[in-house]
Amino acid sequence: MPTNQSGSGEYLLEFIRQGAYMRVAAVDPATNTEIVLVGSASASKQELTRLAVQKLEYVLAKKSNV
């Protein structure tokens, strides 16, 4: 599990294969913020993890600026 930017913990990741697609959910347990993305099942788990964490960090940054 990747460490979040604040260093306060880790993100929770869930991978579910749905045919030719992989559904990835990422949650920040500190804020209970969750994102979901869908990618190709042929993509590497590392790449899908990187994209999910990038999206979650974007959402967290956007929420903190509001």
At residue 40, the 3 state secondary structure works out as strand
pLDDT bin (cut points 50, 70, 90) of residue 4 is: low
Domain presence at residue 40 = yes
The parent domain of residue 28 ranges over 12-64
Q: Could you tell me if residue 25 is inside a domain?
A: yes
Do the domain assignments include residue 1? no
Per residue in 7-61, pLDDT tens?
456 999 999 999 999 999 999 999 999 999 999 999 999 999 999 999 999 999 9
35 inside domain: yes
CA-based R_g, the chain, Å: 12
Indicate the number of domains in the chain.
1
What pLDDT, on a 0 to 100 scale, did the predictor assign at position 11?
A: 96
In a domain, 5, yes or no: no
